[in-house]
Structure 1
């Protein structure tokens, strides 16, 4: 029986090639887009899930309340991990790690910068990595050991056995390779080339193990299954407060399943994160697939009169409605199956481009069970949704009326089709409008005054050698005429590595706590960065600078200072405010400027920043910089970053969302136009003789075009009325998460509406004009 259904369905589809090709093309594009989105969504949802202890790993986080302004901080004190490990039967292990750091690793003549973490005992008991050589139990026993990834080991040792080979780190210490692990998956929180253990015999580490105020590390816990997180929160807070005056902070444990998708906090409350975009693109995937399904429904019902006699004869010969339903669902299933097969080919061919665009390493592994689950779900969903309305509609025909030729496609049959077309238009208007608003928001923030000029600024990481030879480097660069200014800072101008409370001063309100960013700088900070000095002056290099402080405008406003220059600030020691600079956007460009304090430091730094003279080619400047830095910093490979490029990285998520939205919106609109063209073609075919009669009676081509088009243009107007308020509400909610944001203009919707109106007119006209300009004899000769 089913064989007969499939054979009949196949013949029917093959007989109606135009109908089949239109539907297959629409469904192929829809399924391809859906597959790409599902691959991306699956990668996001499975972040860190390869960890065997995934459900029982937590990070310790603090909410620090500065005068009712809560700052969520992941930086913890070094000794807290050891104290926690013995504090509760719910905690199996507690480890501390540094933030990701970069070191120059050397072996023989090979010197390569690699990223990694310094970690405490039990790191490999909590986090499970696949060992290629060595084992988790002994990998970190020796404080002078190092664990490499496969890629890093190959980079240094080629095909040699790396175990017990000795690497030099930053030209001042050595480490013996104790193990090799597989490289971390792309959807892993930890991305590293090496792992090293803390050396507790090191004087600096010894000192930090007794300091409960200095918070510069991350702490992770492995708990027993179904641990009481509320009790753990109290335990951590109690232990931390017992070892120092930390009444402004409350601590909590944050589960691994929230690290990536729910990473954003505002005023101490979790406000989501990437989960918003996962939901957004999941909805877009469904929408695109539904648009393709709607095409199938519309085209199938539009050609219903051609199938009416077939249904009438089948019913007369004894077919019941169930059998007819199965027949039409078989046609839908075959079309979907063909479209799915073509979509998989498209995905395989375009996946490298998609990976490059989203900066991931997605793969389509047809051997995984999850692929077949997703494939089966997509095929069945598409086949059922696309075929449901045509099957129900066609199988409901009365055989007597059909065979007598009295069946008429009235308002009841046209209305559902109009509703579906209107839905397509509304979705298209929504997607176009949303895409434009996302673009406008990104451009709005890009055009924001950052408080400094990033063009021509080059950053080169500091090392002990560059700090020691800074005076020589400075003189060589400035005397060249290629570099106009140079300074050094504790962190890049594009980041804040130092968060602190505001200093004390006379007249400070009681219980006033403000979270501020800190920056240590050398001379010429404002000149190099082109930051405006609002009051006072910059550091000059005199001995007095060691007790001088500079504030930014946001700090002055937050501290409510009227005449800050000359004021005494108590911050470990007493500083004198010598200047106020304009606000500089160092963190998120979507947020207000951060209150900042700056102190003078001329011995060590984190970053050298210099400005290339206007008109000097970048390649010429970089070649000169490389020569100078290699001469004065020979042990470290030359590395640089342009400030403007680093600043652009702050828009990566928004750019990605905008790019994906652009592509999938364009494809959704293309599918919509494809269906519209097919529907217009069937409408014209149905009114073929009417058009011929009208031409004989003197109707012009323009009149005929408007006759066919007005039916669809009315639907565009209705769709616009539906889509405009819905889009405004959705995008207003999206923009609400940004402090620095655009105002949605109503003109945008009218422009999009007109564009959709014209697009519909063009698509329908292209299908109408052939008939409208043809000879009416062809349509009337059978009358």
Structure 2
């Protein structure tokens, strides 16, 4: 029976080539837009999920609630990490990062390779504990991951930096000087694979924190907060219970006594509104909008929801267009329905037939939509600034596409199928049905909804475009194209 449905559906599509082309192309464009947006959403939601045991890795956050407003920070004292590891059996590992450009070596630097005179400006420097390599499961191209940052004055560089300056040569043992010839030598002790595009870490240089003290006593001072602190909990640990216990312990047993010793008086109401929280590693990219002084750009879950709603609306508009075209074509199918009913076709048979046509159109549209999205991917990649790829190697992509085509086809074809199958043979064959569905209130409602959503999206696009043009082209009081930035002027000799 299904084969018969498909044959009749295919013949009907070929018979009405113009109608078929408009229907398929309209739906294909909607599918392509939806696919591109979905790939972007999946990419943003997948940050750090490829790291083994990512479900047990957290970043520490200090939270202060003032007048109902949440103020989050991610900087902690140098000894917070080792204290948490020593005081809580639930913790497997702790590690620190420090990329504050106020401290020498972090952020951007002028770099010189030993044996060369040329200085190179590079960014993406951060100080890191050896434990960070272990926690983040950073893979090494050259060197041993377990000891890459275990010794003082060592540095790990990314594979792209290694290829840039050393080509195919193994750079282990090479020495780098930062910000002047008189600086400390840093021996390259490892070459790590570049961080993936969906990692919240985007550094090219990891400088060891072994033996580092930026100020005298800074490594044991509780009230000097410069470090990001990451922890790995045991699989059987209750993160919520541990969070509460850790917050109380650190504040009452370390931070408050240190404040009292330094002569700072902490009001009781402040103590009741200050907490230490745990932020899951996989939440850092999308749930950091309340955190100040982030080291790199983050996305926002609100933006993801907005894009998801836009993708849904685009697909709904394409589906409504399909419904309207199908019902508008009903006058041309009325006699076909009447003849079939006269020769014995039941209403259920006709419904199944029209649903088959609908699903066939959506499957073809989804296939063309995916090809269109693949063709547009380079342009979309440039617009989004993300390293996005079509997930052709992911079996789940094909399963989702097939199920999506069937679901959209069924939903979009339900109304036209029941509408067409309810025509009365006597009225149709007598010519009393001549105008199809001009009086359909549902069609009118769908058209109004379709145009409303389209207008909202168009207005939103125009507003965003105007804002971007204002930001890019507004007068700043100087000719920005004629301004250059010089790096390394501090190294110039008199």
8 A Cα contact 1:232 1:253, kept in partner: no
Aligned residue number for residue 174 of structure 1:
185
Aligned residue number for residue 359 of structure 1:
385
User: Which digits, 9 at most, give the CA deviation of each residue in 1:595-617, with x for residues without a partner?
Assistant: xxxxxxxxxxxxxxxxxxxxxx8
Aligned residue number for residue 41 of structure 1:
41
In 2 relative to 1, CA 179–318 (structure 1 residues): closer, same or farther, beyond 3 Å? farther
- In structure 1, the residue corresponding to 2:286 is in which secondary structure? coil
Q: CA deviation at 1:301?
A: 0.7
Of 259, 262, 276, the match for 2:287: 262
Of 452, 455, 458, the match for 1:429: 455
- In structure 2, the residue corresponding to 1:137 is in which secondary structure? helix
In 2 relative to 1, CA 447–132 (structure 1 residues): closer, same or farther, beyond 3 Å? closer
Q: CA deviation at 1:402?
A: 2.5
Aligned residue number for residue 491 of structure 2:
633
Instruction: Report matched runs for 1:429-468 at 5 Å.
Output: 429-438=455-464, 455-456=477-478
8 A Cα contact 2:330 2:436, kept in partner: no
Instruction: Report matched runs for 1:78-227 at 5 Å.
Output: 78-99=78-99, 101-107=107-113, 108-109=115-116, 111-171=120-180, 172-200=183-211, 202-204=212-214, 207-225=217-235, 226-227=238-239
Larger radius of gyration: 1
Q: CA deviation at 1:273?
A: 6.6
- In structure 2, the residue corresponding to 1:117 is in which secondary structure? strand
Q: CA deviation at 1:385?
A: 2.3
8 A Cα contact 2:338 2:426, kept in partner: yes
- In structure 2, the residue corresponding to 1:204 is in which secondary structure? coil
Aligned residue number for residue 317 of structure 2:
291
Gaps of 5+ in 2: 100-105, 293-297
Aligned residue number for residue 234 of structure 1:
248
In 2 relative to 1, CA 323–454 (structure 1 residues): closer, same or farther, beyond 3 Å? same
Q: CA deviation at 1:52?
A: 1.5
TM-score normalised by the chain length of structure 2: 0.84
In 2 relative to 1, CA 52–319 (structure 1 residues): closer, same or farther, beyond 3 Å? same
Aligned residue number for residue 102 of structure 2:
none
C-alpha distance in structure 1 between counterparts of 2:392 and 2:196, whole Å: 19
- In structure 1, the residue corresponding to 2:220 is in which secondary structure? coil
Which stretch of structure 1 is more off in the superposition, 81-90 or 311-320? 311-320
8 A Cα contact 1:87 1:235, kept in partner: no
Aligned residue number for residue 243 of structure 1:
258
User: Which digits, 9 at most, give the CA deviation of each residue in 1:643-688, with x for residues without a partner?
Assistant: xxxxxxxxxxxxxxxxxxxxxxxxxxxxxxxxxxxxxxxxxxxxxx
C-alpha distance in structure 1 between counterparts of 2:36 and 2:373, whole Å: 7
8 A Cα contact 1:116 1:191, kept in partner: no
C-alpha distance in structure 2 between counterparts of 1:397 and 1:193, whole Å: 69
User: Which digits, 9 at most, give the CA deviation of each residue in 1:314-338, with x for residues without a partner?
Assistant: 2333332333222212222222222
User: Which digits, 9 at most, give the CA deviation of each residue in 1:264-314, with x for residues without a partner?
Assistant: 2299xxxx9711111111111111111111111111111112111212222
C-alpha distance in structure 1 between counterparts of 2:442 and 2:379, whole Å: 39
- In structure 2, the residue corresponding to 1:186 is in which secondary structure? coil
Of 409, 413, 433, the match for 1:387: 413
8 A Cα contact 1:237 1:252, kept in partner: no
Of 400, 404, 420, the match for 2:430: 404
In 2 relative to 1, CA 276–429 (structure 1 residues): closer, same or farther, beyond 3 Å? same
C-alpha distance in structure 2 between counterparts of 1:70 and 1:194, whole Å: 33
User: Which digits, 9 at most, give the CA deviation of each residue in 1:543-591, with x for residues without a partner?
Assistant: xxxxxxxxxxxxxxxxxxxxxxxxxxxxxxxxxxxxxxxxxxxxxxxxx
Aligned residue number for residue 404 of structure 2:
378
- In structure 2, the residue corresponding to 1:60 is in which secondary structure? strand
Aligned residue number for residue 329 of structure 2:
303
Q: CA deviation at 1:106?
A: 2.7
C-alpha distance in structure 2 between counterparts of 1:310 and 1:69, whole Å: 66
Q: RMSD of the alignment, in Å?
A: 3.1
8 A Cα contact 2:94 2:131, kept in partner: yes
In 2 relative to 1, CA 445–106 (structure 1 residues): closer, same or farther, beyond 3 Å? closer
Gaps of 5+ in 1: 459-616, 636-783
In 2 relative to 1, CA 322–231 (structure 1 residues): closer, same or farther, beyond 3 Å? farther
Aligned residue number for residue 585 of structure 1:
none
C-alpha distance in structure 2 between counterparts of 1:20 and 1:27, whole Å: 11
8 A Cα contact 1:81 1:94, kept in partner: yes
In 2 relative to 1, CA 140–203 (structure 1 residues): closer, same or farther, beyond 3 Å? closer
8 A Cα contact 1:144 1:176, kept in partner: yes
Q: CA deviation at 1:168?
A: 2.6
User: Which digits, 9 at most, give the CA deviation of each residue in 1:72-97, with x for residues without a partner?
Assistant: 22221111111111121222222111
Q: CA deviation at 1:425?
A: 1.5
User: Which digits, 9 at most, give the CA deviation of each residue in 1:418-454, with x for residues without a partner?
Assistant: 1111111111232234345556777899999xxxx95
User: Which digits, 9 at most, give the CA deviation of each residue in 1:378-405, with x for residues without a partner?
Assistant: 3223212222211121122233333333
Q: CA deviation at 1:70?
A: 6.0
- In structure 2, the residue corresponding to 1:160 is in which secondary structure? coil
8 A Cα contact 2:70 2:290, kept in partner: no
* Equivalent residues, number: 462
TM-score normalised by the chain length of structure 1: 0.55
8 A Cα contact 1:94 1:222, kept in partner: yes
Of 460, 463, 482, the match for 1:618: 482
C-alpha distance in structure 1 between counterparts of 2:140 and 2:291, whole Å: 39
